[in-house]
Amino acid sequence: MDSEDKQPFISHLEELRKRLIASAIAVGIGFAASYAFAEKLFGLLVAPLQAVMPEGDHLIFTDLPEMFFTYLKVSLLAGIMLVAPYIFYQLWMFIAPGLYKKEKKYVIPFVVASTLLFVGGSLFGYFVVFPFGFKFFVGFSNEYVKALPSVKQYFSFAIKLLFAFGVVFELPVVIFFLAKMGVVTPQLLRKKRKYAILMTFVLAAILTPPDVVTQCMMAGPLIILYEVGILVAQIAWKSREKKKKDAEDDEETDEVDESGEIIK
């Protein structure tokens, strides 16, 4: 790699470092603001499990510092959610230099759509998947065994699901920009639909607990989001083709003006 090749690579690393630092500072501010409500936020996080546990049962912690560090983690999670729009903005600003001038105007739709889909996916996991999933697992308690979930295990489990649903709900945004760049087309997405459905179930099996109900509750929305992504790709593709045609018409007009005759 010569010096000319290294220069753009180093500048990309510097830009990435700048955006990561800005995002980290924002998360730090969100964390500080959320820590004052750490106990209430933790209560909200455990509410779906508490609702399906037998009356009088509670989560337990076995290490003395466990609750303190859990409150820190809950505050960090809340801080990330709080500044999610800013984080998505920093992501956009990192990729924006590689876009055309007309494409850079999508910053607001990108930030708004990404934030709504991420938060919406997490809320779907919290309000829809958690009650069914936790009821399924707690249902294994009987006269011989009793569920005594620990705070540490529950937090890791819940956060994994919340982030998994938040990330997979970003599918329409990803498809839109892939279509805008010409990487995928609506026709290709329709043609590969059956493979996409298979992959959604594989992904759901990896990201969710090993029960069919929870897996289907992730795979179902993913399939719907894929269909939404096809519609979004259709819009993006039409817009891309229209701009391409307009650019070709402009070039043809320029040739006519210079030569004084119409060039077929």
Confidence of residue 262 (pLDDT cuts 50, 70, 90): very low
Whether residues 149 and 241 fall in one domain = no
Q: What stretch of H or E contains 115?
A: helix 107-124
- Number of neighbouring beta carbons within 10 Å of residue 2: 6
Domain boundary among 169, 184, 204: 169
Domain boundary among 115, 149, 169: 169
102: CB partners within 8 A, 6+ apart: 243
Model pTM score: 0.79
Domain that holds residue 257: 171-264
Query: CA 167, CA 122: separation in Å to the nearest integer?
Result: 8
Query: What per-residue confidence (pLDDT) applies to 35?
Result: 94
Whether residues 201 and 134 fall in one domain = no
CA distances from residue 71 to 32, 45, 74, 215 in whole angstroms, order as listed: 12, 11, 5, 29
Whether residues 104 and 212 fall in one domain = no
In this structure, of 2-16, 105-119, 211-225, 244-258, the range with the lowest mean pLDDT score is 244-258
* % of the chain with per-residue pLDDT over 90: 31
Mean pLDDT of 195-202: 89
Whether residues 181 and 262 fall in one domain = yes
pLDDT in tens, 87-130: 999 988 888 776 667 667 778 888 888 999 999 999 998 998 88
Query: What per-residue confidence (pLDDT) applies to 98?
Result: 66
Query: CA 112, CA 117: separation in Å to the nearest integer?
Result: 9
* First and final C-alpha spacing in the chain: 45
Sign of torsion, CA 184 188 194 195?
negative
Confidence of residue 260 (pLDDT cuts 50, 70, 90): very low
Query: What per-residue confidence (pLDDT) applies to 127?
Result: 92
Whether residues 212 and 127 fall in one domain = no
Query: What per-residue confidence (pLDDT) applies to 252?
Result: 55
Confidence of residue 210 (pLDDT cuts 50, 70, 90): low
**For the chain, what is the domain count?**
2
Whether the predicted pLDDT of 26 surpasses 70: yes
Whether residues 65 and 196 fall in one domain = no
Whether residues 56 and 121 fall in one domain = yes
Domain boundary among 116, 143, 169: 169
Query: CA 199, CA 48: separation in Å to the nearest integer?
Result: 29
76: CB partners within 8 A, 6+ apart: 27, 31, 34
Q: Identify which of 244, 240, 232 has the alpha carbon closest to the alpha carbon of residue 174.
A: 232
Whether residues 150 and 178 fall in one domain = no
Q: Is 58 helix (H, G, I), strand (E, B) or coil?
A: coil
In eight-state DSSP terms, residue 62 is -
Whether the predicted pLDDT of 224 surpasses 80: yes
Whether residues 115 and 188 fall in one domain = no
pLDDT in tens, 142-181: 888 888 888 988 998 899 889 889 998 999 988 888 887 7
pLDDT in tens, 52-93: 888 878 888 888 888 999 999 999 999 999 999 999 999 888
Whether the predicted pLDDT of 200 surpasses 60: yes
Query: CA 154, CA 137: separation in Å to the nearest integer?
Result: 12
Whether residues 205 and 249 fall in one domain = yes
**For residue 60, what are the β-bridge partners?**
150
Query: CA 152, CA 256: separation in Å to the nearest integer?
Result: 72
Query: What per-residue confidence (pLDDT) applies to 25?
Result: 96
